[in-house]
C-alpha cells in the first residue's frame, strides 16, 4: 500500500491522521479531508476512529468478563474463568501491595478496567499497519487509526479522569482545609517557605495527569511509527520487502512487552495516585 503514495512522507502522514469530524470556521459540520481541515476545526473536532475503537474494545472487555461471570462455576473452572480469575488476583495483589487493605469500592474495578482496556487498545498496534486503513479506503473512509492509545486525546482523557478521582479523594479524606493547607506546608514545613511550597505543589499536581497520559501516548506512538517505517520497505523491492518482513516480526515480538508493560504502568500509577490521595498525612 505504501507504493500508492507519492512519497514516504505522504504515506506516514496518512497513517498518523485521525478520521475527524468537526465544525469548520464557516460554522458547518463535516469530515476533515486533511491536516488543514483538522487544524481549522480546533477544539470542535472529534476523532471518530479513536472513539470507535476504544468503545469497541471496551465492549469486548465487558463481554469477556460478563461471559466469564455467567459461566463461572465452583467446580472445575474453564480456561476463560481461570484467565479472568488470574487477572483479578493479579490486580488485587498489586492493590494490596500499594494501597493496602483499607476499604475502597472503586479502586479494584477501576484498576482491572484500566489494565485490560489499555492492554486491548495497545494490542491493536500488532495489526499490520496497512490492513484496516486499506479496507477503510475501499469503503470510502479516508483515514483510520486503530490504536487509540496513539491519540493523546484518549490517553490524556483517561489520565484526567483519574486526576478528578484523586482530587475527590483528597478532599474527602483530608477535607478542604487539610487539602489546601498541604499546598503551603509541603515539602518544607515552614511558614517562610509557603510560597515556594505552593509553587512546587501546583507543578506536581499538574504534572501527574500530564505525565500519566503522555507516557502511554509517547511509547505507543513511537512503536506505531516504527511499524510504519518498516512498512515502507515493502515498496522497495523483493530484498527490502523480505528485510521488512523480518524486521516487522522482530519488532512485533519485542513490542508485545511494551504493550503489556505500558498497560501495567498506567494501572499501577493510578493505584499510587489514589493511595497518595488517601494518606491523611502527606508522605509522598
Check whether 228 has a pLDDT greater than 60.
Answer: yes
Confidence of residue 2 (pLDDT cuts 50, 70, 90): low
pLDDT at 3: 53
Our count of domains for the chain comes to 1
Reduced to 3 states (helix: H, G, I; strand: E, B; else coil), residue 254 is helix
**Stronger pLDDT, 103 or 270, i.e. the higher one:** 270
Candidate list 8, 40, 153, 215, residue with the active-site label: 215
* Residue 284: pLDDT band with limits 50, 70, 90: very low
| Residue 245 in domain | yes
Is 44 contained in some domain? no
Q: Per-residue pLDDT averaged across 34-52, rounded?
A: 92
**Active-site choice (18, 54, 122, 219):** 219
Q: Between 11 and 154, whose confidence is greater?
A: 154
pLDDT over threshold 70, residue 282: no
Q: Which of 71, 82, 190, 211 is catalytic?
A: 211
- The yes-or-no answer on residue 111 being catalytic is no
Residue 5 has pLDDT above 70, yes or no: no
Q: Is residue 165 part of a domain?
A: yes
pLDDT greater than 90 at residue 269: yes
The confidence score (pLDDT) of residue 34 equals 86
CB 126 within 8 A of CB 255: yes
How confident is the model at residue 281, as a pLDDT?
Answer: 62
Domain-located, residue 2: no
> Is residue 28 included in any domain, yes or no?
no
160: closest CA among 230, 214, 120?
A: 214
* Residue in the structure block whose three cell numbers are 497518595: 276
* Residues 158-210 pLDDT 10s: 999 999 999 999 999 989 988 888 888 878 787 878 888 889 989 999 999 99
Max Cα separation, the chain? 71
- What are phi and psi for residue 21, nearest 5 degrees? -120, 135
Beta strands in the chain (DSSP E): 20-23, 29-31, 45-47
Domain that holds residue 115: 49-278
User: Which pLDDT score, from 0 to 100, does residue 1 have?
Assistant: 56
17 within a domain of the structure (yes/no): no
Alpha-carbon distances, residue 120 vs 124, 240, 242, 262 (angstroms): 7, 31, 29, 11
Percent of the chain exceeding pLDDT 70 equals 96
pLDDT(101) > 80: yes
Active site residue 23: no
Q: Is 219 a catalytic residue?
A: yes
Confidence of residue 118 (pLDDT cuts 50, 70, 90): very high
> Is residue 22, in this structure, part of any structural domain at all?
no
Q: What is the pLDDT at residue 75?
A: 78
Would residue 33 count as lying in a domain? Answer: no
Amino acid at each position: 500500500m505504501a507504493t500508492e503514495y507519492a512519497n514516504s512522507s505522504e504515506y506516514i502522514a496518512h497513517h498518523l491522521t485521525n478520521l475527524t469530524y468537526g465544525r469548520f470556521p464557516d460554522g458547518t459540520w463535516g469530515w476533515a479531508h486533511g491536516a488543514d481541515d483538522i487544524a481549522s476545526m480546533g477544539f470542535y473536532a472529534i476523532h471518530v476512529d479513536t472513539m470507535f475503537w476504544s468503545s469497541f474494545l471496551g465492549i469486548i472487555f465487558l463481554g469477556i468478563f460478563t461471559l466469564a461471570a455467567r459461566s463461572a462455576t465452583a467446580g472445575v473452572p474453564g480456561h476463560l474463568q481461570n484467565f479472568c480469575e488470574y487477572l483479578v488476583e493479579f490486580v488485587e495483589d498489586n492493590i494490596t501491595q500499594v494501597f493496602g487493605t483499607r476499604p475502597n469500592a472503586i479502586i479494584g474495578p477501576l484498576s482491572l478496567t484500566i489494565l485490560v482496556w489499555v492492554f486491548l487498545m495497545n494490542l491493536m498496534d500488532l495489526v499490520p499497519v496497512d490492513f484496516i486503513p486499506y479496507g477503510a479506503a475501499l469503503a470510502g473512509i479516508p483515514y483510520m487509526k486503530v490504536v487509540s492509545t496513539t491519540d493523546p486525546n484518549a490517553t490524556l482523557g483517561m489520565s484526567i479522569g483519574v486526576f478528578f478521582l484523586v482530587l475527590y479523594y483528597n478532599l474527602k479524606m483530608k477535607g478542604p482545609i487539610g487539602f489546601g493547607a498541604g499546598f503551603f506546608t509541603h515539602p518544607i514545613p515552614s511558614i517562610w517557605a509557603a510560597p515556594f511550597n505552593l509553587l512546587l505543589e501546583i507543578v506536581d499536581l499538574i504534572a501527574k495527569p500530564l505525565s500519566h497520559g503522555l507516557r502511554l501516548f509517547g511509547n505507543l506512538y513511537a512503536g506505531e511509527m516504527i511499524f510504519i517505517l518498516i512498512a515502507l520497505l515493502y515498496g522497495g523491492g523483493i530484498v527490502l520487502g523480505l528485510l521488512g518482513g523480518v524486521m516487522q516480526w522482530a519488532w512485533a515480538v519485542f513490542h508485545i512487552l511494551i504493550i503489556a508493560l505500558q498497560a501495567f504502568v498506567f494501572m499501577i500509577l493510578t493505584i499510587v495516585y489514589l493511595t497518595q490521595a488517601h494518606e491523611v498525612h502527606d508522605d509522598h
